[in-house]
Amino acid sequence: MKAPQLLYSGTITLALLAAAWMAGCASPRDPPPAELSPQPLAALRQSRPPAAGSGQPKVALVLGGGGLRGFAHLGALHALEEAGIAPDIVVGTSVGALVGAAYASGLSPRQIESIARGVKLSSLIDLTFSTRGLMRGHNIARWMDEITAGVPIANFPRRFAAVATDLRSGQAMLLDQGTAGAAVQASAAVPGVNLPVAYPGGHLVDGGIASLVPVRFARAMGADLVIAVDVYCSGPGGDGLAAPSVLLRAIRAQSCLMAAAELAEADIAISPPISVSGMSAKDEQERAIQIGYEATMAALPRARALIKAAGP
C-alpha cells in the first residue's frame, strides 16, 4: 500500500543502502521547502478550543504506520462504515496518513480499495542516488494529490492530519495544512530510504519514529473518543537470524515498545494480527483487509457503547 516501505524489508533495503553509500554520490541540493507548517503536540494542546460541553461526542479515527500492512486499514474502514460510525477527525502516521488522507478527502472505503488495487507500486518509486536516501518521494506525493483532487487538507470534508517526525528535535509534528501529497510524503519518509522532506524550520521524516499510532494528537485536536488501529505491533515479528532480519526485528521491537503507552490511551485500540511475508501478492493483501475488518467488527460493540454513553 505504501511504496516507500517496500524497500523497508530485509536484504533489499540493506543492499541498496550499501550500494548508495559505496557509490559515494554527492547529495543533491535541498529542494524548495514544502509548504508545511508542522506543530508539536505541546503547541497544539495550548491552542485547543474549550469543550462545548454538549452534543454528540467527537470521534477520531487514528491509523498507525506499518507499510503494506496498511491494507488492514481498509478492512477497518469497511467495518466502521457498515456500523454507521463516521469519524469527525482522522489522524494518520505513514501508511495510516496515506489511507487517512484519502478517506478524509471524501473517498469511500470501496473507492480507496479500488485505487489501492489498481495502482502499480513500481510507479510510486522514484530512485535517486544520494547519501541522504534512495527515494525522493515525489511520485507518492503527486499520486496522493491526484487521489485527493489537489484539495487542501484544510478543505477536506473531515478534519485530517498526518504526523511526521522533526529530524533535529526528534519530536512528533502534526501536519494539517497544505496539500495531502506533501504531508503524506513527509509522514512516510523512511529514514535512510526516503530523502527527508525540507520545510522552513528543518526536515521531516517518518512519523512512526516518534508517534507510530498518534492517539495524543487526536486528543489534542478535540476528540472525545478515539478509535485507534495499530497494524504493526500485534502480528508475528519474524524469526530469522540473518543480519537483515535481526535488524528489522530489533527496529520493530523498539518501535512497538515506544508506541505501547500512547496506544493504551485510545478508548478503542484495534490491533489486527497481520503476518507479513511480502504483502505484495494479491491474496496477502486480501487477507490483510479481511483481518482488519474482523478485528474492527470485534471491537464495535464496545465502540457503540462508548459513543452512546458519551452522547447527550
Q: Which sequence positions are flagged as catalytic? A: 94, 206
* Contacts of 187 by beta carbon, 8 Å cutoff, 6+ apart: 65, 92, 93, 94, 97, 98, 162, 163, 164, 175, 204, 206, 207
Residue 19 to residue 6: CA distance in whole angstroms = 17
Contact status, residue 179 vs residue 150, Cβ threshold 8 Å: yes
Question: Which of 83, 301, 279, 63 has the alpha carbon at shortest distance from 188?
Answer: 63
**Residue 238 Ramachandran class (φ > 0 left, ψ -120 to 50 alpha, else beta):** left
Residue 193 backbone phi and psi in degrees, to 5: -105, -55
What are the residues facing 164 on neighbouring strands? 173, 206
